[in-house]
Amino acid sequence: MTPRQHCFDCLAARPARLFEAALWIAAEHEAELQPRHWLNRLNDLRQQVLALLPARPARELAQPLLRQLCELGFQEDLDDPLLPRSVLLHQVLQRQRGQPLALALLALELARQLDIPLQGINFPGRFLLGVPGSSQFFDPCTGRRLYPQDCRELLYQHFGAEMALTLEHLSPASDRQVLQRLSRNLRLLHVNSENYLAALKDAERALEIGPPSALDHLARAELYRRLECPQGERHDLECALLLTEDPALHTHLGLRLLELRARPPLH
């Protein structure tokens, strides 16, 4: 099977094997990568964390788990510009640096193995973690507990004063949402690194995980434009046109499609 097929098999498992699925995503970009090796490395880390956790009920161990990871050296990658290695999980394990979503995936897998209740929160701009059935939310990079005012400040930093905090922002992330968000993050980092073929893999995966959005199709259309593939660009623009409800974007896409159709075919 291809790495993507392995990834989707992990996603389809019950419960889904998200950490392994993310390693197979990395294997799409590094053919020599062996996910089993890094799963073994994770087992070693689990033993380290387990030895340091306090003797408390599992429901009280979410924040101690995150703090132990931080004390063991796992921190947010603050490189500028960020590189794809901040999302590729084997490199996150190796470097102990990563984006919030990558560090969250690490914490979620350790929590699963240690029977600690923890779930991903699909917060706009910054992936968070929470305890199921409670109002406890945490920053995956530090373990700091986040209160409503902290969440409002995060929204303000990323989107300005026009976005108000809603309950939907603090809703649990589905397995598909987690991997789709990971694919989108990786696509953006590969674009920033001008590795458009790698970014195309991430764009395709984000669409396959679904549900696709107009923005996902527009992102892939832009990659096809950069790669001088007008047929692929036209297909994605047409799909985005069908999915968008924004009148201005609808008009813009219509004009772009007219321009593409007017170009002479390549020989």
CATH number where 236 lies: 1.25.40.10
Tell me, yes or no, whether 206 and 163 share the same domain. no
Bridge partner list, 128:
121
Tell me, yes or no, whether 154 and 68 share the same domain. yes
| pLDDT recorded at residue 162 | 82
Closest CA to 223 of 247, 244, 207, 242: 207
252 part of a folded domain? yes
Residue 266 — pLDDT band, cuts 50, 70, 90? low
Across the beta sheet with 119-121, the strand order is 119-121, 128-130, 137-138, 145-146
Final residue of a domain: which of 136, 154, 170? 170
Token pair recorded at residue 176? 């598909």
Tell me, yes or no, whether 155 and 187 share the same domain. no
Tell me, yes or no, whether 97 and 206 share the same domain. no
* Segment 154-166, tens digit of pLDDT: 999 988 888 889 9
User: Would you give the DSSP letter of residue 87?
Assistant: T
Q: How many domains does the chain have?
A: 2
Closest CA to 53 of 127, 107, 120: 107
Final residue of a domain: which of 170, 204, 234? 170
Three-state secondary-structure class, residue 138: strand
Looking at the predicted structure, is the pLDDT value of residue 200 above 70?
yes
Closest CA to 65 of 138, 154, 15, 133: 138
Closest CA to 163 of 152, 171, 172, 173: 152
Tell me, yes or no, whether 23 and 71 share the same domain. yes
Three-state secondary-structure class, residue 92: helix
95 part of a folded domain? yes
Residue 102 — pLDDT band, cuts 50, 70, 90? very high
How far apart CA 201 and CA 35 sit, in angstroms, is 19
Tell me, yes or no, whether 160 and 195 share the same domain. no
Bridge partner list, 75:
97
Final residue of a domain: which of 170, 195, 226? 170
Tell me, yes or no, whether 188 and 162 share the same domain. no
How far apart CA 102 and CA 91 sit, in angstroms, is 10
Looking at the predicted structure, is the pLDDT value of residue 267 above 50?
no
Average pLDDT over residues 14-21: 96
* Segment 19-70, tens digit of pLDDT: 999 999 999 999 999 999 999 999 999 999 999 999 999 999 999 999 999 9
Bridge partner list, 130:
119, 137
267 part of a folded domain? no
Looking at the predicted structure, is the pLDDT value of residue 219 above 50?
yes
Tell me, yes or no, whether 34 and 162 share the same domain. yes
Tell me, yes or no, whether 142 and 185 share the same domain. no
* Segment 234-265, tens digit of pLDDT: 999 999 999 999 999 999 999 999 988 877 65
The reply to whether omega before 15 is within 30° of 0 (cis) is yes
Looking at the predicted structure, is the pLDDT value of residue 109 above 90?
yes
Looking at the predicted structure, is the pLDDT value of residue 121 above 90?
yes
106 part of a folded domain? yes
209 part of a folded domain? yes
Amino acid letter, 60: E
| pLDDT recorded at residue 263 | 73
Tell me, yes or no, whether 166 and 217 share the same domain. no
Range of the domain at 101: 3-170
Tell me, yes or no, whether 202 and 217 share the same domain. yes
Q: What is the mean pLDDT of the chain?
A: 94
70 part of a folded domain? yes
Tell me, yes or no, whether 56 and 162 share the same domain. yes
